[in-house]
C-alpha cells in the first residue's frame, strides 16, 4: 500500500461533493477511451451538420452525445389584430430545437343502435382533426433562466388565431397550421436555466373564399 498513488481528479465546478465528482471523473475517462463527447452544461446542446441524404432534412440536428434530434419546430412570424383589424402586436419566427412531437388522429364514426340486434351500425363520415402534442424546453445560458423566450412563446400561444408552423415532421403528415387548445410551463427542481413546456393543439386547414360579383 505504501507505493499506492492516489489518482488526480479533474473536479467539475458544477458539482460540490466528492462522490458526484468521482462519478463525473469516471464518466470522463470512459468517454475519452471510447471517443464519446460529453455535453457541456454551459453550451447549447445542439450543433448543425449538413447532410446530403435525400431521406433526411438538409439540416440535421445532432446532440453532443451523438444522438439525432428528429425535428425542430418554427412558429412562423405573425401578428395580432384587434376587432377593427389594426395590428396591436407582432412576433418574428420563433424556432425551438429541443422538442418532441406526438401526433394522433381519430376517425369520425356515427354509431346507431337497432332494437333486437347486438352491437351497433357504424357509419364512417370522415377523419377528425389531428391531435398535436408538442413537449420541449427552452434553454438559457448557464444559471440564467430563459425568461424572455418564455414570455415570447407565451404571447404566440395566447394569440386567438390559428398559428402557421414549420416542421418537416408535421408537413410530412400534411400539418401546416394549428390551433392551440392549451399549454403549460412547469418548473423542474434543479434546472433553473431550463423552462419546460407542453402544448396541445389541433390541426387546421386554410380555406379561401372566392367572391363572385
Total tally of structural domains belonging to the chain = 3
**pLDDT-derived band of residue 156, with 50, 70 and 90 as boundaries?**
very high
Quick one: CA torsion of 104, 133, 168, 71, rounded to 10 degrees?
-130
Q: What is the dihedral of CA 5, 9, 15, 21, to 10 degrees?
A: -50
∠ CA(48), CA(51), CA(52), 5° rounding? 160
140 and 175 housed in the same domain: yes
Kindly state the percentage of the chain with pLDDT values over 70. Answer: 65
Burial class (CB in 10 A: 0-12, 13-18, 19+), 183: middle
Buried b (16+ CB within 10 A) or exposed e, 198-208: ebbbbbbeeee
The model's confidence at residue 60, banded by pLDDT at 50, 70 and 90, is: low
Domain containing 212 equals 71-213
Are 153 and 185 members of one domain? yes
Q: Could you tell me if 97 and 167 lie in one domain?
A: yes
Q: What is the DSSP string of 172-197?
A: TTT--EEEEEEEEEE--TT-TTEEEE
Q: Locate 157 and state its grid cell.
A: 400561444
- Of 186, 180, 133, which Cα lies nearest the Cα of 155? 180
Q: How confident is the model at residue 77 (pLDDT cuts 50, 70, 90)?
A: very high
Same-domain pairing of 62 and 24: no
Lowest mean pLDDT among 11-15, 124-128, 164-168, 186-190: 11-15
Short-list 111, 45, 101, 42, CA closest to 74: 101
Same domain membership, residue 65 and residue 25? no
Domain co-membership, 11 together with 94 = no
Place of cell 391531435: 131
Same domain for 117 and 184? yes
Please give the order of strands across the beta sheet that includes 194-204.
Answer: 94-96, 73-75, 163-166, 177-186, 194-204, 120-139, 99-113
pLDDT of 141 reads 85
| Segment 67-81 mean pLDDT | 82
Residue 20 carries which DSSP code? H
Give the mean pLDDT of 77-94: 90
pLDDT level of residue 86 (50, 70, 90 thresholds): confident
Higher pLDDT, 122 or 40: 122
For residues 67 and 91, the model is more confident at 91
Question: Within this chain, do residues 101 and 132 fall inside the same structural domain, yes or no?
Answer: yes
Q: What is the mean pLDDT of residues 129-141?
A: 92
Specify whether 90 is located in the same domain as 186: yes
Q: Are residues 101 and 172 in the same domain?
A: yes
Residues 126 and 61 in one domain: no
Statement: residue 49 has pLDDT above 60 = no
Beta-bridge partner residues of 65: none
Residue 143 and residue 199 in one domain: yes
Amino acid at each position: 500500500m505504501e507505493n499506492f498513488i492516489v489518482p488526480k481528479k479533474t473536479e467539475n465546478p458544477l458539482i460540490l461533493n466528492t462522490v458526484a465528482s468521482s462519478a463525473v471523473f469516471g464518466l470522463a475517462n470512459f468517454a475519452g477511451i471510447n471517443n464519446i463527447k460529453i455535453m457541456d452544461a454551459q453550451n447549447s446542446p445542439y450543433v448543425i451538420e449538413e447532410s446530403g441524404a435525400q431521406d433526411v432534412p438538409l439540416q440535421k440536428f445532432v446532440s453532443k452525445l451523438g444522438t439525432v434530434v428528429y425535428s425542430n419546430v418554427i412558429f412562423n412570424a405573425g401578428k395580432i389584430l384587434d376587432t377593427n383589424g389594426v395590428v396591436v402586436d407582432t412576433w418574428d419566427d420563433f424556432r425551438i430545437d429541443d422538442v418532441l412531437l406526438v401526433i394522433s388522429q381519430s376517425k369520425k364514426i356515427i354509431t346507431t343502435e337497432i332494437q333486437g340486434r347486438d352491437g351497433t351500425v357504424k357509419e364512417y363520415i370522415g377523419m377528425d382533426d389531428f391531435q398535436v402534442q408538442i413537449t420541449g424546453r427552452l434553454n438559457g445560458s448557464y444559471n440564467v433562466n430563459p425568461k424572455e423566450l418564455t414570455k415570447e412563446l407565451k404571447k404566440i400561444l395566447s394569440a386567438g388565431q390559428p398559428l402557421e408552423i414549420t416542421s418537416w415532421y408535421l408537413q410530412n403528415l400534411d400539418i401546416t397550421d394549428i390551433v392551440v387548445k392549451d399549454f403549460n410551463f412547469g418548473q423542474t427542481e434543479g434546472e433553473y436555466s431550463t423552462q419546460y413546456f407542453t402544448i396541445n393543439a389541433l390541426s387546421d386547414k386554410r380555406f379561401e373564399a372566392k367572391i363572385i360579383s
